[in-house]
Amino acid sequence: MAGFLAERVTRTLRTAAPNGVSPMPSNRNIPGRKTPIPVPSSGTAHRPHVEYFDIADLTRTDSRGFVHSVDSYHAEPWGLYLVRAADTPPYRYTETWLLPKQSVRVTMHHVNAAHDRDPIYHIYIGNFAKIEPKRWRAEYHYIDIVARNGHVCELHGVDELFAAHAAGHVSAETAQRAFEQATAVVDGIASHDHNFERWLTTQGVTLHWL
């Protein structure tokens, strides 16, 4: 089955290659390389990480069960926004949007409260949903994308997804869907001049940040 998935993801991501994806297991863009080569490496197998976001309590519960405070939440018909103190220096603030229709969580980290002129978007693939009136759930499917306006996207976590599937933590259908979702995001960004938010506006989504 791993061979089947490797063949499917290679075909899928090669299709997206002309639009500017660079899925390298080393997590780096290699100058001059045109065709993505998603070669699985020995990623550590683990179950999908799950988080809960409790709007009424202004908290989020991470995948280990630890509860963290959230400064504020804001809900839109198409997603949930939250801002909180960053977990690691030198960053001070972390902003996140959960976008169920696009199957992504997008996060930006800030050194200060000012909006970055050249933002770096950390985009995580998974299932995101409101499960109660004031509670959301996120299940991450290993793949994440780093996007900057005007730059080729970087694709990470393919090796982790292969390892999780091989260990029986995710089904072939879930793995294939994660690849397809990642490809849709990368292709959408690339087809809008490598601009993540420009792509989202075509789907009726307008993000706001600090």
Other beta carbons within 10 angstroms of residue 150's beta carbon come to 8
Q: Considering just the CA atoms, what is the radius of gyration of the chain in Å?
A: 17
Which tokens go with 172?
Answer: 């072939």
pLDDT at 165 exceeding the cut of 60: yes
Residue spans per domain, the chain: 2-201
The predicted structure's pLDDT at residue 42? 47
Q: Is the peptide bond before 90 cis (omega within 30 degrees of 0)?
A: yes
Residue 79 banded pLDDT, cuts 50, 70, 90: very high
Contact 137, 19 (CB under 8 A): no
Enter the DSSP assignment of 65.
S
pLDDT tens readout for residues 105-159: 999 998 765 556 688 999 999 999 999 999 999 999 999 999 999 999 999 999 9
Residue 44 banded pLDDT, cuts 50, 70, 90: confident
Contact 204, 78 (CB under 8 A): yes
Which tokens go with 92?
Answer: 């001070």
Q: pTM of the prediction?
A: 0.81
Q: Residue 209: name the closest of 88, 94, 104 by CA.
A: 94
pLDDT at 205 exceeding the cut of 50: yes
CATH of 2-201, one of 3.40.50.1370, 2.40.30.10, 2.40.380.10, 3.40.718.10: 2.40.380.10
Strands 21-22 and 153-156: parallel
